[in-house]
Each structure stands twice: as structure tokens, then as C-alpha cells.
């Protein structure tokens, strides 16, 4: 083949699969979620679902034991061509149809008829999707555990480290970095709890053509409900109370838990992005190697992990919305609603898995600059404690006089670039007041320490 001219993109090889390496997705590329949600991983899950069905049939006396062994032995992803399956999937709208044909041939004439017996394509696709979700969520949960542990350490270490509290982008009253980190951790634990509940409830799917299990009865099952239970055991998922071809609670629950997790991690990440700005520099990401570097500006150390987490958090709600939209599934098997779930669900699993990985690294390596936190408390020349002064001086001067005095002194502090404490010291009516204590921001963090302690009691 003649090389393409410089600046002209080379054509993709004929029949090449669309990219699955994550070239445009540094947030999840190389993560456990990437491996758990790849085309190969989904193919493995489809084959696992098919093999589990034949084993369940054999357990219930509906297939020979040799069939279970033969199908399980043949259900190896390396024996199947994912590109070919993808191309042939267009004919029936899903990859199960060509996969069943290929798996039947691989099993052979004797036991081939027991492949996919009684099932419908959606049974296998839904079960495989739940398997992929389970395999992607397990490492994500481990990373959330790492994240909360690192944040617990930060919260404990900085329990009493005062810093400016900001509301509507401006300095408001003092808070502590410990309380901020404890808040991040609380969201991570909320996410962990939601993911755990969803993970533990992921169901198998088995209903046959219209969710009645009729075909299994036709093949000799005395009680098809026990076959569903056997199938769920074989595949390692929960037995569903009903076939859920058009009852998409499992997918909707996954969508909600994943979108929440992305947002919870995004809250911490967006705070880090703000606090690590050059002119603030209260925190900094610690990255290994050349992490955070710029292609054009050698001096830069960008907060890359935080940026990638925030990118995931911004995409997740729209993906979840598609999955929620698929709750509107007509009849006993839907056209389009079910098909619309596959890519958004995989994208969500990838985004959250990658974000959880990056959040663990971010929390474990976050550097807090106590000097910067302390210095910034003084940026408003003491006005950050004006709330406290209003309350305290009202008892000395009266409410109206105290308010008028502080309003005037706040104006003068800004105009004259003088500390509020110096201006207060010149007021004769405050001669007996401990102004040093009242104007010390570190002494006005309220119950931040106690709140941090309470948050850290949660395990």
C-alpha cells in the first residue's frame, strides 16, 4: 500500500474494529474498568451466560452432562472473531444471534442443540451486561475504599488546620481543611454504599421469548422457576423475581449509582482544581514521572487527575439519562429501548471505574500547603471574622451601633489597606475587649473539629 501524503489520514484497514484502546479516553484507558468492559470482556460474558445456561439445564435434567461440559469447554473468547460477530450482528440487531451460531458449530453436532436452548437473545445480553457490570464494579469499589482511607487520613491530620471558607466564590468565614476532606470522604462513602447495594443485587435474566419461560416447559422442565434459580447460581448473579425484559429496574439502579458516584468524586476533584490554581495553591496533586506536564509550557504541573475526574462527572448524567429513558419499554420485549442501553452503560462503567482509580491516586498523593491556608485567612485584613465580631460586639456596643461601626471599619480596612484589628483597637468603647482573640480566624472555626470527628466515626 502506498503511504498517504503527509497530513492526510491513512484509511483504516478493511474490516478493522473501531478503536477500543481509549485513545480519546485517558480517564479510563489502562484502568481495571477498561479491561472489564472491553469487547473481549463482553464476549466472555456472553459466552459465560451461554455456558451457565447449559449447565443449569443439565443440573435440572434437561440436558446431558456431556452437553454442559462441551459448551463450557467451547465457550472461550479466543475461539471467536469479535469483528465478524459485530458485522453479522447488524442482521438481527444484536451479537447473540451470530454468536449462538458460531458456538453451536464449535460445540459439535452431538451437543450443539443444547446451546441457547429455550432462551432468547435478550436473556443472554442482559445477563452478560450484569456480569460485565459486576466485574467492572469490583475494582471500582476497591478504589473507592482506597480513596476514603486516604481522605480519612487527610481529615484527621488537618482536623484543626484553618482555611478560608468560600461561598459564591468569595471568602465567607473560616473553616478547616479537615472538615472539607471529611466532606469529600462522606460523599465517597455514600457512593460506595450505593454501588455496593447495586452490585449485590445484580440479577441474571431468563424469561424466554416473551418472559413466560414457556419454552423451558416445552423442553421438559417441570418447574421452570427452579431452572432460573439454577441459572443464576451458575452465572454468579442473583435470581430475578420476574423476567425483566421490560422491567428495567436493574439498569436504572445501576445508572443512578454510577452517575452519583461520578458526581461525588467530581465534587472533590473540582475543589482540588480550584484550590490548586496558581494564585491560590492551597493544595497540589502529586503525580509520578512527568504527570501533569504541558506540551508547550515546561513549568506547568497540571492537576490532571482532577481534570479527568471532572470530565467523567460532566458526562455521566447524560449517559444515565439515556438509561433512565429506556425504562419506557413497550410490550414484553422492546424495540430500541433495550438496544439503546448497551453503549451508555458501558461508557458509565468505564467513566466511573477510571474516575475511582484517579480519585484514589489523587487522595493518596494530595499535598496540602498549611502556610498558604494560613496566609489566605488574612487576605481580607480580618474581615473574614466579621460575622463573629457582629455577634460579640453587639453585647458590648448594642446591635445597631456594632453593625454601623463594623460597616464603617470594613470600608476603611479595604480603602486604607489596614487590618481590621488595628482599626478596632482605636475605638475607645472596646478598650477591655480581647480583640486579638476575636479577630484570629483560627479561633473561629465553629464546630468544624467536632463535625470532622463525627464524620470519621463512619466506617
- Residue 200 CB contacts under 8 Å (≥ 6 apart), including other chains: 238
Burial class (CB in 10 A: 0-12, 13-18, 19+), 204: buried
CA atoms of 307 and 355, how far apart (whole Å): 10
List alpha helices for 202-303, DSSP H: 214-218, 224-235, 249-275
Which string of DSSP letters, residue by residue, matches 125-145? Answer: HHHHHHHHHHHHHHHHHHHHH
CA atoms of 210 and 178, how far apart (whole Å): 55
- Grid cell in block for residue 338: 433495550
Helix (H, G, I), strand (E, B) or coil at 102: helix
**Cα separation values, 215 from 23, 210, 219, 224, Å:** 44, 10, 6, 9
Q: Count the residues in the chain.
A: 459
- Grid cell in block for residue 236: 454468579
**Cβ atoms of residues 94 and 339 within 8 Å:** yes
Element (DSSP H or E) covering residue 310: helix 304-325
CA atoms of 452 and 457, how far apart (whole Å): 9
- Grid cell in block for residue 457: 466515626
- Grid cell in block for residue 49: 451466560
Helix (H, G, I), strand (E, B) or coil at 170: strand
Helix (H, G, I), strand (E, B) or coil at 172: strand
Q: Count of CB atoms within 10 A of residue 384's CB?
A: 23
Structure letter (DSSP) for residue 212: S
Element (DSSP H or E) covering residue 164: strand 162-167
- Grid cell in block for residue 116: 441457547
By annotation, the residues acting in catalysis are 294, 333
Phi, psi of 166 (to 5 degrees): -120, 130
**Cα separation values, 237 from 126, 127, 202, 347, Å:** 12, 8, 6, 22
Q: Which single residue is written with the C-alpha cell 486604607?
A: 416
| Distance spanning both ends of the chain, measured CA to CA | 61
**Cβ atoms of residues 143 and 416 within 8 Å:** no
Amino acid at each position: 500500500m502506498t503511504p498517504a501524503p503527509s497530513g492526510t489520514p491513512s484509511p483504516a484497514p478493511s474490516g478493522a474494529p473501531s478503536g477500543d484502546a481509549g485513545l480519546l479516553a485517558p480517564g479510563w484507558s489502562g484502568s481495571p474498568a477498561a479491561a472489564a468492559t472491553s469487547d473481549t470482556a463482553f464476549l466472555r460474558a456472553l459466552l459465560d451466560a451461554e455456558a451457565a445456561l447449559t449447565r443449569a439445564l443439565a443440573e435440572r435434567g434437561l440436558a446431558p452432562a456431556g452437553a454442559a461440559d462441551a459448551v463450557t469447554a467451547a465457550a472461550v473468547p479466543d475461539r471467536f472473531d469479535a469483528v465478524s460477530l459485530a458485522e453479522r450482528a447488524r442482521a438481527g440487531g444484536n451479537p447473540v444471534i451470530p454468536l449462538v451460531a458460531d458456538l453451536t458449530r464449535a460445540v459439535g453436532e452431538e451437543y450443539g442443540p443444547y446451546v441457547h436452548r429455550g432462551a432468547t437473545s435478550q436473556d443472554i445480553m442482559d445477563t452478560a451486561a450484569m456480569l460485565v457490570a459486576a466485574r467492572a464494579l469490583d475494582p471500582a469499589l476497591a478504589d473507592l475504599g482506597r480513596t476514603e482511607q486516604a481522605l480519612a487520613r487527610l481529615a484527621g491530620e488537618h482536623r484543626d488546620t484553618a482555611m478560608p471558607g468560600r461561598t459564591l466564590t468569595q471568602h465567607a468565614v473560616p473553616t478547616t481543611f479537615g472538615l472539607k476532606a471529611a466532606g469529600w470522604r462522606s460523599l465517597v462513602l455514600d457512593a460506595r454504599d450505593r454501588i455496593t447495594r447495586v452490585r449485590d443485587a445484580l440479577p441474571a435474566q431468563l424469561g424466554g421469548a416473551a418472559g413466560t419461560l414457556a419454552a423451558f416447559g416445552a423442553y421438559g422442565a417441570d418447574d421452570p422457576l427452579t431452572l432460573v434459580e439454577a441459572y443464576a447460581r451458575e452465572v454468579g448473579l442473583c435470581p430475578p423475581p420476574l423476567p425483566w425484559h421490560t422491567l428495567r429496574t436493574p439498569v436504572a439502579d445501576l445508572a443512578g449509582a454510577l452517575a452519583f458516584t461520578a458526581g461525588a468524586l467530581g465534587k472533590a476533584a473540582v475543589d482540588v482544581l480550584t484550590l490548586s490554581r496558581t494564585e491560590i495553591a492551597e493544595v497540589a496533586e502529586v503525580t509520578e514521572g512527568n504527570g501533569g506536564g504541558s506540551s508547550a509550557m515546561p513549568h506547568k504541573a497540571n492537576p490532571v487527575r482532577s481534570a479527568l475526574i471532572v470530565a467523567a462527572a460532566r458526562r455521566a448524567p447524560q449517559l444515565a439519562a439515556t438509561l433512565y429513558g429506556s425504562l419506557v419499554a413497550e410490550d414484553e420485549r422492546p424495540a430500541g429501548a433495550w438496544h439503546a442501553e448497551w453503549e451508555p452503560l458501558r461508557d458509565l462503567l468505564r467513566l466511573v471505574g477510571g474516575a475511582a482509580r484517579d480519585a484514589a491516586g489523587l487522595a493518596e498523593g494530595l499535598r496540602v500547603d498549611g502556610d498558604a491556608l494560613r496566609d489566605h485567612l488574612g487576605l481580607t485584613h480580618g474581615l473574614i471574622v466579621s460575622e463573629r465580631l457582629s455577634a460579640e460586639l453587639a453585647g458590648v456596643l448594642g446591635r445597631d451601633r456594632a453593625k454601623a461601626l463594623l460597616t464603617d471599619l470594613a470600608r476603611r480596612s479595604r480603602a486604607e489597606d489596614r487590618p481590621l484589628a488595628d482599626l478596632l483597637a482605636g475605638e475607645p468603647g472596646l478598650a477591655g475587649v480581647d480583640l486579638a482573640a476575636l479577630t484570629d480566624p483560627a479561633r473561629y472555626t465553629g464546630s468544624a473539629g467536632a463535625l470532622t470527628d463525627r464524620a470519621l466515626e463512619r466506617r
